[in-house]
Amino acid sequence: MAKRVAVIGAGVSGLTSIKCCLEEDLEPTCFEQSSDIGGLWRFTEKIEERRASIYNSVITNTSKEMMCFSDFPMPEHFPVFLHHSKFLEYLRLYADHFNLLKYIRFYTAVIHIEKAQDYSTTGQWTVVTEKNGKQECFTFDAVMICTGHQIEAYTPLESFPGLETFKGNIFHSRNYKSSEGFEGKTVVIIGMGNSAADIAVETCRKAKKVFISTRGGTWVMSRVYDNGYPWDTIFQTRFNNVIRNSLPWLLLRWLTEKKMNQWFNHENYGLVPQNRSLMKEPVFNDDLPSRILYGAVIVKPLVKEFTESSAIFEDGTVEENVDVIIFATGYTVAFPFLDKSVIEVENNRVPLYKHVFPPHLEKPTLAFIGLIQPLGPIMPTAELQARWATRIFKGLSSLPPESTMVTDTIIRNEKRIKWFGTSRSQSIQTDFITYLDELAAESGSKPNPFMLLLKDPRLALTIFFGPCSPFQFRLMGPGRWAGARNAILTQRDRIVKATKTRVVEKSLDQNLFGFLKIFGFLVLLAAVFLSLRQPSSSPSDEQ
Interacting residues with ligand NAP (CB under 6 A): 58-61, 150, 156, 159, 173, 190-196, 198, 215-216, 281, 302, 328-330, 373, 423-425
Segment holding 533, helix H or strand E = helix 508-533
To ligand FAD, the closest distance from the beta carbon of 369 in angstroms equals: 7
Contact between 426 and ligand FAD per CB under 6 A: no
For 406-444, give one letter per residue: b (16+ CB within 10 A) or e: eebbeebeeebeebbbebbbbbbbbbbbebbbbbbebbb
Helix 378-394 and helix 12-23, axial crossing angle in degrees, nearest 10 = 40
With a CB cutoff of 8 Å and minimum separation 6, the contacts of 472 are: 70, 447, 463, 484, 488
Give the whole-angstrom CA distance, residue 101 versus residue 451. Answer: 39
Phi, psi of 271 (to 5 degrees): -105, -15
Give the whole-angstrom CA distance, residue 168 versus residue 178. Answer: 18
Q: Choose between 11 and 191: whose C-beta lies nearer to ligand NAP.
A: 191
384 interacts with, out of ligand NAP, ligand FAD, none, CB within 5 to 8 A per kind = none
Q: Choose between 214 and 241: whose C-beta lies nearer to ligand NAP.
A: 214
Give the whole-angstrom CA distance, residue 57 versus residue 199. Answer: 9
Contact between 431 and ligand FAD per CB under 6 A: no
Three-class DSSP category at 418: helix
173 interacts with, out of ligand FAD, ligand NAP, none, CB within 5 to 8 A per kind = ligand NAP
Helix 457-465 and helix 238-246, axial crossing angle in degrees, nearest 10 = 50
To ligand FAD, the closest distance from the beta carbon of 161 in angstroms equals: 29
Which residues in the 95-114 window bind ligand FAD by CB under 6 A? 109-110
> Exposure of 77 by Cβ count < 10 A (0-12 exposed, 13-18 middle, 19+ buried)?
exposed
292 interacts with, out of ligand NAP, ligand FAD, none, CB within 5 to 8 A per kind = none
Q: Choose between 377 and 449: whose C-beta lies nearer to ligand NAP.
A: 377
Q: Given candidates 100, 296, 378, 495, which one binds ligand FAD under the rule CB under 6 A?
A: 378
Torsion angle, alpha carbons of 477, 480, 484, 486, to 10: 100
424 interacts with, out of ligand FAD, ligand NAP, none, CB within 5 to 8 A per kind = ligand NAP
Q: What is the CA radius of gyration of the chain?
A: 26
With a CB cutoff of 8 Å and minimum separation 6, the contacts of 126 are: 112, 113, 114, 115, 116, 117, 137, 138, 139
The tally of CA atoms less than 13 A away on the side-chain side of residue 147 is 23
Of the candidates 164, 150, 151, the one whose C-alpha atom is nearest the C-alpha of residue 325 is 164
Q: Choose between 81 and 182: whose C-beta lies nearer to ligand FAD.
A: 81
Which of these ranges, 50-58, 220-228, 300-308, 399-407, lies near ligand FAD under the rule CB under 6 A?
50-58
Contact between 67 and ligand FAD per CB under 6 A: yes
To ligand FAD, the closest distance from the beta carbon of 381 in angstroms equals: 8
To ligand NAP, the closest distance from the beta carbon of 368 in angstroms equals: 17
Contact between 51 and ligand FAD per CB under 6 A: yes
The CA-based angle 76-82-84, given to 5 degrees, is 130
11 interacts with, out of ligand NAP, ligand FAD, none, CB within 5 to 8 A per kind = ligand FAD
Contact between 50 and ligand FAD per CB under 6 A: yes
Q: Given candidates 39, 217, 289, 479, which one binds ligand FAD under the rule CB under 6 A?
A: 39
Contact between 147 and ligand FAD per CB under 6 A: yes
Contact between 143 and ligand FAD per CB under 6 A: no
Q: Contact residues for ligand FAD (CB under 6 A)?
A: 8-14, 31-34, 39-41, 50-52, 54, 58, 60-62, 67, 109-110, 146-148, 150, 337, 370, 377-379
